[in-house]
């Protein structure tokens, strides 16, 4: 059995499909997760958690601690649900793209592979492997970039609120 190599054009097309999917997934995730609302909920959870920890350290009555925990649980649930919305949409969409659309688009390349040298290792991938690696690596980069952006934005918003509070 001879294995044919993927052409540079085929690799570029597969990479472009992976980039397109990753960008679409990031946009969908941002739309469904509502970062500003999520940040507000997380701030409330942090305040509640800090108060709960102080109560525990001060040996507060168990009833008060229980009430504080009951106050915090809906916030935690809301935060988890907000984050899960995107996951519930993106995982099935990835599986559909990976198992149906990518083979439909690039199925003619099924018997072809490409190899990459990473350090002293030689990695050989077919078209679905290239797509998966592209989405995985680019997804990590985009997620980390969005996380850094959100943190900077939250700090900036906090400074603006702080400045408004001082001038009022």
Residue corresponding to tokens 């984050």: 83
Q: How far is CA 15 from CA 12, 39, 73, 100, 125, in A?
A: 5, 33, 43, 17, 13
pLDDT tens-place string over residues 102-139 = 888 887 776 677 777 777 877 778 888 888 999 999 99
- Taking each helix axis as running N to C, give the angle between helix 127-167 and helix 8-33, from 0 to 180 degrees, rounded to the nearest 10: 40
Torsion of CA 45, 40, 151, 87, to 10 degrees: 80
Predicted confidence at residue 4, as pLDDT, reads: 59
For residue 107, give both structure tokens: 């199925």
Predicted confidence at residue 142, as pLDDT, reads: 94
The CA-based angle 49-53-57, given to 5 degrees, is 170
> Which regions in the chain score pLDDT beneath 50?
1-2, 168
Three-state secondary-structure class, residue 147: helix
Predicted confidence at residue 96, as pLDDT, reads: 93
Three-state secondary-structure class, residue 61: coil
Predicted confidence at residue 1, as pLDDT, reads: 42
Rounded to two decimals, the pTM is: 0.71
Predicted confidence at residue 167, as pLDDT, reads: 52
């Amino acid at each position: 059995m001879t294995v044919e190599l993927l052409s540079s054009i085929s690799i570029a097309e597969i990479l472009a499909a992976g980039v397109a999917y990753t960008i679409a997934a990031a946009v969908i995730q941002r739309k469904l997760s509502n970062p500003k609302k999520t940040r507000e909920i997380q701030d409330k959870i942090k305040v509640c958690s800090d108060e709960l920890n102080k109560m525990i350290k001060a040996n507060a009555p168990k009833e008060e601690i229980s009430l504080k925990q009951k106050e915090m649980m809906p916030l935690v649930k809301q935060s988890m649900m907000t984050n899960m919305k995107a996951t519930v949409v993106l995982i099935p969409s990835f599986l559909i793209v990976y198992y149906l659309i990518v083979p439909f688009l690039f199925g003619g390349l099924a018997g072809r592979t490409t190899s990459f040298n990473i350090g002293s290792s030689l990695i050989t991938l077919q078209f679905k492997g290239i797509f998966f690696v592209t989405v995985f690596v680019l997804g990590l980069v985009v997620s980390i970039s969005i996380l850094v952006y959100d943190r900077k934005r939250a700090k900036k918003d906090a400074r603006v609120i702080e400045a408004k509070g001082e001038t009022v």
